[in-house]
Structure 1
Amino acid sequence: MTQGPEFPEQPEQPQQPEGQQPPPPYGQPTPPPFPQQGYQQPGQQPGYPPPPQQGYPGMPWGASPQAPYGVHPATGLPYSDKQKLVAGLLQIFIGGFGVGRFYMGDTKTGVWQIVVTVLTCGVGALWGLIDGIIILAGDSAKDANGLPLRP
């Protein structure tokens, strides 16, 4: 019998150029090419930038100084300081006098509702009732500045 090496010969590994590290073993994550400087938050993987911050400090989620009440999801316009619920209920209960329209800043329509209610001896108050329902049910109610009423 011939005596041979205890282990079979392994192929030679290619030489790494100076300054480079060999690749990690199979199944291990690859380290980032550069070390991250500064503070690292818990749960954040090293070498990756922190996630972007949403909103502004001290303000509700998603609000900004330009839109303190948030933004309308479909149009992207900032919400008005007026509420849709208040405008609709004022218009339903005191609609003959256009109170909901005055609240929204639409004085022209509010005055017309008063004129129609007076000239029709109160029958025109139906306009205010229907208008209040439309304000509550629709998504197109805007204040005097053209901003959508907040929900």
Structure 2
Amino acid sequence: MTTPPVQPGYPQGVSDKSKVVAGVLGIVLGGLGAGRFYTGHIKIAVLQLVVSLCTLGFGALWGLIDGIMILVNGGTDAEGRPLRD
């Protein structure tokens, strides 16, 4: 297994994506899957969007809770690296 490339300004193994941005996008635009699109989790983002559309917007609660969880516990990007603070 190869190690992720070192990114300038960030410790090795830490994502270039911000957990604050991902969390706020999840809270504000969670029904559209914006927080998950931002972190690169495309399948989950599309699923959040479909659930929101199929439930006439009630599925947006998933995105809201997901955004709060990212802010509280952090999260990972699509490559499994922890989001930066």
- TM-score, normalized by the shorter chain, greater than 0.5: yes
Q: CA RMSD in A?
A: 1.3
- State how many pairs are aligned: 80
Greater RCO, 1 or 2 (C-alpha within 8 Å, sep 6+)? 2
Q: How many percent of aligned residue pairs carry the same amino acid? A: 56
How far is the alpha carbon of 1:67 from its aligned partner? 4.7
Whether 1:143 and 2:77 are equivalent positions in the alignment is yes
Q: Specify the alignment match of 2:11 in structure 1.
A: 70
The question of whether the paired residues in 1 share the 8 Å contact of 2:31 and 2:52 is answered with yes
Structure 2 length as normaliser, TM-score? 0.88
The question of whether the paired residues in 1 share the 8 Å contact of 2:7 and 2:16 is answered with no
Q: Specify the alignment match of 1:108 in structure 2.
A: 43
CA displacement, residues 1-53 of structure 1 (integer Å, 9 cap, x when unaligned):
xxxxxxxxxxxxxxxxxxxxxxxxxxxxxxxxxxxxxxxxxxxxxxxxxxxxx
More helix by share: 2
The whole-number CA distance in structure 1 between the counterparts of 2:7 and 2:47 is 32
The whole-number CA distance in structure 1 between the counterparts of 2:6 and 2:18 is 18
How far is the alpha carbon of 1:86 from its aligned partner? 0.3
Whether 1:82 and 2:14 are equivalent positions in the alignment is no
Partner of 2:53, secondary structure, is helix
How far is the alpha carbon of 1:129 from its aligned partner? 0.2
Partner of 1:94, secondary structure, is helix
Structure (1 or 2) with the larger CA radius of gyration: 1
Structure 1 length as normaliser, TM-score? 0.51
- Which aligned runs of 4 or more in structure 1 are off by greater than 2 angstroms? 65-68
Q: For residue 69 of structure 2, what is the amino acid of its counterpart?
A: I
Whether 1:128 and 2:63 are equivalent positions in the alignment is yes
The whole-number CA distance in structure 2 between the counterparts of 1:67 and 1:107 is 22
Query: Structure 2: any 5+ residue segments left out of the alignment?
Result: none
